């Protein structure tokens, strides 16, 4: 295993591998978020020296453990997943799953959830035996995983043991999981298209009789915020999506991995990489937010608050990603019913399509059996439901005999059941019942949403920041001084945006853009 270990900035990879953090939907770390995040809050990719993609051929080296299943022995697999769960509850869920998988594929599992960045870092750098590891793709994290040889190539494994999974995965989304032609992940059956706008408290909307269009504009939102501010002067009309000025992206950009060089409009045919912070649309957005801030429509300490889930308190609205069922997710995390107004039609970019999945780490002793289990997670309803929702009667119950909807048992707090349901973070939530409050055709709606998303012209491209790491570090330092304050209207863009752009260029932004344009052009040429 030693030949796979990386040093230096490779250790930074784990900082992006924080399981269940705010980047999972950008909703302040709620277990009920979505992973469809533009990545605008975290600029730069944690990559190290470029790998030779040798991990794709290494599965044979790690296969000895899985061969034992052929002689009737039970293979133990270690699975690391997302979200909060008590240790004893994980053991109980793992045993229930193992009762099925021992018979079907000759494995039993150990289930671990909620590991932090430090624990993940230690596990990967020490070669700890983990067979399936969840990642949340923020700013090209999967690409960094591949470059650091932390993941095994999957092509042979999927061909032999993953045909069931391939039967349900959208091929367009699967393409986003290839690097150098090698498959390293399988996309979860979650939202693989991206749409965004604003979520608003339904109780306030109803009380004031506000007409919220399904698809609206910033001008529509301004009128709504003004009306709320007049009716409730002590309420914050607009609050951060998560702490310290977190904000979901509401412009149709393809971030191309890290927002340092983007496609300004993913709906156009243009493949010109531009400076995100020098775009006319960015300037116009900052000017709008400065006006809103001056008029008291934005939480005064939006950039510094340490609070999350502000709609549960004194906030009315926030920037938010949208997908079918998002209203229910927000209710589960805040206890407040919400109404959505979208400002972007659905589209696809790479880090959204591969936004959350599992990998088979290089240190897995049993990659073949891991793939067999992974395949079951896509195809077996009972296995999938156990991983996602836990034990019937303890963590959830059916609402009626139709077995369409579930809820927590009487007297059980859904946010403290011992086993949180983070459905989007597992391979196939669409095999499970729907949580009470959702619509019976939720999964049909989700598939329609995913299939209707317009692919960016750069869809499938993965950015390798290795050649310009120094410039990225320098630019990040500049961005930290301006970006959050500008986008929340805490800085006058007329005075500060030109300084911001000038300092970015001095720090090497143009070099970053040139390198990204070169890589994108090469990728597109290879597709022809």
Does 57 have pLDDT greater than 50? no
CB count, 10 Å around CB of 57?
A: 14
Looking at residue 270, what is its pLDDT? Answer: 97
Q: Is residue 267 part of a domain?
A: no
Q: Residue 397: which of 389, 409, 386 has the closest Cα?
A: 409
| Distances 35 to 31, 191, 409 between C-alpha atoms, Å | 11, 8, 27
75 and 111, same structural domain? yes
Which range marks the domain in which residue 481 is found?
466-527
Same domain, residue pair 169 and 233: no
Q: Are the C-beta atoms of 148 and 359 separated by less than 8 Å?
A: no
Looking at the structure, tell me whether residues 150 and 221 fall in a common domain.
Answer: no
Higher pLDDT, 23 or 236: 236
pLDDT computed for residue 140 by the predictor: 58
pLDDT over 60 at 183, yes or no: yes
Q: State yes or no: pLDDT of 18 exceeds 60.
A: no
pLDDT tens figures, 111-163? 999 887 678 778 877 889 999 999 865 555 788 788 889 999 999 999 999 99
For the segment 401-447, what is each residue's pLDDT rounded down to a tens digit? 999 999 999 999 877 899 999 899 999 999 999 999 889 999 999 99
Query: So what's the pLDDT on residue 272?
Result: 98
Domain presence at residue 294:
yes
Q: Across-strand partners of 78?
A: 110
Same domain, 96 and 165: yes
Question: What does the pLDDT look like over 442-486, one tens digit per residue?
Answer: 999 999 999 999 999 999 998 989 999 999 999 999 999 999 999
Quote the pLDDT of residue 138: 53
Q: How confident is the model at residue 189 (pLDDT cuts 50, 70, 90)?
A: very high
DSSP string, 183-250: E--EE-SS--SBEEEEEEEHHHHHHHT----SB--HHHHHHHHHHHHHH-TTSEEE--SBTTTB----
* Residue 450 within a domain: no
Q: What does the block give as tokens for 511?
A: 């070099």
What digits encode the pLDDT tens for the residues 329-384? 888 777 789 999 999 999 999 989 988 889 999 999 999 999 999 999 999 999 99
Whether 81 and 182 map to the same domain: the answer is yes
Same domain for 162 and 209, yes or no, is no
pLDDT at 33: 37
> In terms of domains, do 287 and 325 share one?
yes
How far is the C-alpha of 283 from the C-alpha of 93, rounded, in Å? Answer: 50
pLDDT for res 72: 78
pLDDT of residue 88: 97
Considering its fold, how many domains does the chain have in total?
A: 3
Q: Are residues 124 and 244 in the same domain?
A: no
* Domain-embedded: residue 515: yes
Q: Are residues 11 and 144 in the same domain?
A: yes
| Res 67: pLDDT | 42
- Cα separation of 211 and 195, whole Å? 20
Beta bridge partners of 318: 199
Is residue 264 situated within a structural domain? no
Q: Looking up tokens 């092509």, which residue turns up? A: 155
Q: What is the pLDDT of residues 196-209, one digit of tens each?
A: 999 999 999 999 99
Task: Write the CA distances from 262 to 277, 281, 465, integer angstroms.
Answer: 10, 12, 14
CATH number at residue 372: 3.40.190.10
Classify residue 398: in a domain, yes or no. Answer: no
Q: Are both 241 and 226 inside the same structural domain?
A: yes
- Per-residue pLDDT at 231 exceeds 60: yes
Q: Tell me what pLDDT residue 315 has.
A: 96
What does the pLDDT read at residue 387?
98
Q: Which residue's entry shows tokens 């230096």?
A: 8
Same domain, 56 and 81: yes
Task: Return the sign of the alpha-carbon dihedral for residues 17, 20, 24, 28.
Answer: negative
* Strands of the sheet with 195-201, listed across from one edge: 236-238, 315-322, 195-201, 338-342
Percent of residues in the chain assigned helix, strand, coil, to nearest 5: 45, 15, 40
Phi, psi at residue 167, to the nearest 5°?
-70, -15
491 belongs to a structural domain? yes
Is 259 a member of any domain?
A: no
pLDDT at 301 over 50: yes
pTM here is 0.82
**Cα–Cα distance for residue pair 269/278, rounded to 1 Å:** 20
Helices vs strands, H then E, count in the chain: 19, 16
Average per-residue pLDDT in the chain? 86
pLDDT of residue 70: 56
Distances, alpha carbon 397 to alpha carbons 124, 287, 385, 454, in Å: 37, 49, 12, 38
Closest CA to 110 of 74, 78, 134: 78
Q: Which of 45-59, 77-91, 248-262, 301-315 has the lowest mean pLDDT?
A: 45-59
Q: Are residues 360 and 484 in the same domain?
A: no
Choosing from 302, 324, 348, the residue where a domain stops is: 348
Number of Cβ atoms within 10 Å of the Cβ of 263: 25
For range 236-245, the mean pLDDT: 95
């Amino acid at each position: 295993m030693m030949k796979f270990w990386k040093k230096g900035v490779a250790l930074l990879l784990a900082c992006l591998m924080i399981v269940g953090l705010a980047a999972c939907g950008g909703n302040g770390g709620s277990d009920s978020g979505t992973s469809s995040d533009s990545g605008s809050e975290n600029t730069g990719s944690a990559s190290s020296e470029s790998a030779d993609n040798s991990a794709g051929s290494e599965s044979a080296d790690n296969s000895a453990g899985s061969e034992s299943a052929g002689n009737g022995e039970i293979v133990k697999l270690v699975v690391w997943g997302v979200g909060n769960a008590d240790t004893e509850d994980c053991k109980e869920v793992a045993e229930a799953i193992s009762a099925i998988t021992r018979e079907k594929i000759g494995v039993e599992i150990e289930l671990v959830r909620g590991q932090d960045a430090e624990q993940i870092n230690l596990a990967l750098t020490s070669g700890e035996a983990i067979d399936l590891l969840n990642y949340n793709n923020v700013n090209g994290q999967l690409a960094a995983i591949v470059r650091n040889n932390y993941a095994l190539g999957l092509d042979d494994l999927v061909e032999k043991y993953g045909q069931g999974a391939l039967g349900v995965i959208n091929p367009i989304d699967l393409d986003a999981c290839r690097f150098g032609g090698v498959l390293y992940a399988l996309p979860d059956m979650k939202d693989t298209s991206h749409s965004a706008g604003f979520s608003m408290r339904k109780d306030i909307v109803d009380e004031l009789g506000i007409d919220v269009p399904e698809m609206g504009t910033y001008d529509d939102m301004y009128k709504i915020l003004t009306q709320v501010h007049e009716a409730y002067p002590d309420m914050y009309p607009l609050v951060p999506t998560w702490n310290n000025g977190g904000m979901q992206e509401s412009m149709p950009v393809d971030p191309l991995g890290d927002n340092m060089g983007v496609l300004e409009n993913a709906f156009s045919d243009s493949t010109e990489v531009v400076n995100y912070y020098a775009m006319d649309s960015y300037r116009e957005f900052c000017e709008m937010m400065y006006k809103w801030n001056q008029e008291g429509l934005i939480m005064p300490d939006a950039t510094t608050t340490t609070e999350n889930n502000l709609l549960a308190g004194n906030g009315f609205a926030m920037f938010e990603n949208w997908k079918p069922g998002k209203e229910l997710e927000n209710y589960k995390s805040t206890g407040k019913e919400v109404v959505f107004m979208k400002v972007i039609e659905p589209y696809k970019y790479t880090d959204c399509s591969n936004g959350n999945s599992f990998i088979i780490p290089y240190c897995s002793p049993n990659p073949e059996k891991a793939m067999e289990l992974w395949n079951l997670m896509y195809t077996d309803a009972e296995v999938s439901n156990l991983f996602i929702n836990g034990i019937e009667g303890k963590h959830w119950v059916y609402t009626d005999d139709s077995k369409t909807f579930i809820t927590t048992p009487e007297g059980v707090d859904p946010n403290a059941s011992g086993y949180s349901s983070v459905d989007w973070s597992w391979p196939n939530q669409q095999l499970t019942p729907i949580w009470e409050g959702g619509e019976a055709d939720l999964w049909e709606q989700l598939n329609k949403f995913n299939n209707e998303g317009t692919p960016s012209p750069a869809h499938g491209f993965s950015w390798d920041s290795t050649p310009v790491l120094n410039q990225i570090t320098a630019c990040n330092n500049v961005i930290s001084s301006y970006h959050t304050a500008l986008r929340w209207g805490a800085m006058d863009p007329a005075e500060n945006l030109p300084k911001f752009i000038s300092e970015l260029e001095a720090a090497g932004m143009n070099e970053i853009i040139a390198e990204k344009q070169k890589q994108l052009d090469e990728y597109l040429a290879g597709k022809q």
